[in-house]
Amino acid sequence: MSSESMPIAGAGNLPGAARRVWLETLHEWLITVDHKKLGLMYIGYALFFLVVGGIEATIIRIQLAVPHAHFVSPEVFNRMFTMHGTTMIFFVAMPVLFGFANYLVPLMIGARDMAFPRLNAFSFWMTAFGGLLLYFSFLGGDGLYGAGSAPDVGWWAYAPLTSKAFSRGHSTDYWTVSLLASGFGTIGTAVNLVATILSMRCRGMTLGKMPLLAWLNLVMSGMLLFTITPLTAAQIMLMVDRYLDGHFFDTHAGGSAAIWMHFFWIFGHPEVYVLIIPCFAFVSEIVPVFSRKPIFGYPVMVAATVAIGGVSMSVWAHHMYTIGMTSYENAFFVLTTLAVGVPTGIKIFNWLGTMWGGKIRYAPPMMFCLGFLFQFLIAGLTGIMLGSAPFDWQLGNSYFVVAHFHYVIVGGILFALFAAFYYWYPKMTGRMLNDTLGKWHFWVFLIGFHLTFDFMHIPGLLGMPRRIYTYEPGRGWAIWNMIATIGVAFQIAGILIFVFNLVHSYFRGRVAGDDPWDAWTLEWATSSPPAACNFAVLPEVRSRRPLWDLKHPEDPDWKYE
């Protein structure tokens, strides 16, 4: 009794108290509607699935390292590439970008929270539930048939492979339902971001004075409303086919397998831009701060983003040249695909223009941005190559395609994300990430990335199809596959350095202060990490760089904008 009443003396009550604190913290995070906490939860959730998806990629690469390998069975191999693709797109890339958008958008537009905080929590939990459901298929997917456990139909799940005759058991249903669930979460997030950006801006922040990050997330969210929903519709149709014996994609009853491809890629191609536009946003915030110059061509950046958003909605069938479309359709999709490269090129020139004559600081955020810039350029160039129908007839469905889109997603999106981690980690935790470890992370991961994905183009050119389980020796593919697999080891080492840095710096990192980078946007005007209310007094802005105005009252931006 006495030990319970005395808070410090009794050693026996300490675990109980610690447990209560732990439970209270857990409870607080579970019921939170705060945009910052939800943002961090999105990011943590995505990092967990990044590791899971990375393990699946490693299994794929080990299996392909040498000819005639039997590291895993063909069935497991199919599950691995399906789960890898689905996980990385829906449960890594989208959540981590939503996490950053959630965390940063209200801060950067001077708001206290998102427009609909409870919808925000709902969206996060739907996404989280979707991911858990997908992975529950490893336990529950085989149903009563003794069929395969996890989905193995590929991340685009072409018909008629998804029909009941070819996909027995429930694994394909887990895939469908998990994407449907997380899709509802995504629609909620998109609605929320648009409403936040249009209706929650602080005084004086007209659309022309918004940070580019807010603008680009506005375009991204607007695109999501029109791109994730075709996937939702197609998934509903697939469920009608599988559960109610419908005939949407049943070729025996006059249904069409090609229309699934259309519906999937009407979602699937704009999705790539949904992922890359927030990364453009990170680069557009980081490059000016580390070049000590305002962004070059702000209105053109906004216009180019809107143009990308519009044009990218009409390029989807460049994924389908090989199914035999008419020459008019081919010509149309070649032209739109090449056209979408123009606004993207404009952006690259604007970032170069921002750096031109600037005083560049080579800190990790800037290094990752530079890596992004070069790699994304190459990814764009191979994209132009594959966007031409005749070239694609040769290389469609080959490892060249795999190398191309991993160049976009790893070389572009992941590098920009790392830049964002190094740049905003001080704001989120109050401590700096370690600089030396950051540079090690950059170089080791850069080497690994180029070993894997530069050399992956070559077996594609030599005719190696994607998704094959193994291959014959003597085709000239083996050496390149071996190099690609060796690159994975470097990438894993880079990720381990990064994760160690995240954890180590949280406890031991240098205290950051409110504004460690001498930056110009509103999130750096509040404390690190920000209080629950974000701003004690809601700010008012007069230019695109409110903190510059504050720091340089003799030469404020609003005199010139």
Partner 1 sequence: MTIPQTLPSSPWTLPSRGRVGMFCFIAAEASIFTIFVVAYLFYLGKSVSGPTPREVLELPIFSSVCLLSSSLTIHLAVEFLRKGKSGAFRAAWGLTLLLGAIFLAATGLEWRRLIVEKGLTISTNLFGTTYYSLVGLHASHVTGGLIGLAVVMVLALAGKVRPEHSGPVDVLSLYWHFVDAVWVVVFTVVYVIGR
Q: Which residues bind partner 1 (CB under 8 A)?
A: 110, 115-116, 119, 187, 190-192, 194-196, 198-201, 203-204, 221-222, 225-226, 228-230, 232-234, 236-237, 240-241, 244-248, 253-256, 259, 263, 266, 514-515, 522, 524-525, 535-541, 546-547, 550
Q: Which is nearer to partner 1, 454 or 557 (CB)?
A: 557
Quote the least distance from Cβ 187 to partner 1, whole Å. 5
Nearer to partner 1, 189 or 485 (CB): 189
Asked if residues 369 and 298 have their Cβ atoms less than 8 Å apart, the reply is no
**Residues pairing with 465 in the sheet:** 398
Q: In terms of CB distance, is 111 or 488 closer to partner 1?
A: 111
User: Shortest approach of partner 1 to residue 236 CB, angstroms?
Assistant: 7
**DSSP classification of residue 473:** T
Q: Which is nearer to partner 1, 190 or 444 (CB)?
A: 190
**Least separation in angstroms between CB 390 and partner 1:** 28
* Alpha carbon separation from 317 to 239, 396, 448, 477 (Å, rounded): 24, 12, 32, 29
Q: Which residue, chain included where needed, has tokens 């404390």? A: 527
How many residues does the structure list for the chain?
A: 561
Distance CA 400, CA 390 (A): 14
Report the distance separating Cα 70 and Cα 63, nearest Å.
Answer: 7
Are 521 and 285 within 8 A, CB to CB? yes
| Residue 1 or 537 having the CB closest to partner 1 | 537
Type of residue found at 231: L
| Three-state secondary structure call for residue 134 | helix
CB of 514 to partner 1, least distance (A): 6
Sign for the CA dihedral angle at 333, 334, 337, 340 comes to: negative
CB-nearer residue toward partner 1: 23 or 225: 225
Distance, CA of 543 to CA of 83 (rounded, Å)? 46
| Cα gap 385→288, rounded to integer Å | 31
Count of CB atoms situated within 10 Å of the CB of 424: 24
Tokens representing 358 are 């600037």
Q: Which CB, 63 or 162, lies closer to partner 1?
A: 162
Minimum distance, C-beta of residue 222 to partner 1, in the bound complex (Å):
8
Minimum distance between the CB of residue 62 and partner 1, rounded to whole angstroms? Answer: 39
Q: Which lies closer to partner 1 via its Cβ, residue 144 or residue 244?
A: 244
Contact between 368 and 418 (Cβ < 8 Å): yes
Report the nearest approach of partner 1 to the CB of residue 157 (Å): 16
Say if residue 74 is preceded by a cis peptide, omega within 30 of 0: no
- Cα–Cα distance between 175 and 518 in angstroms, integer? 45
Any idea which residue has 């700096």 for tokens? Answer: 432
Name which of 67 and 222 has its Cβ closer to partner 1: 222
Please identify, using beta-carbon distances, which residue of 371 and 539 lies nearer to partner 1.
539
d(CA 118, CA 32): 9
**In a 3-state reduction of DSSP, which class is residue 357?**
coil
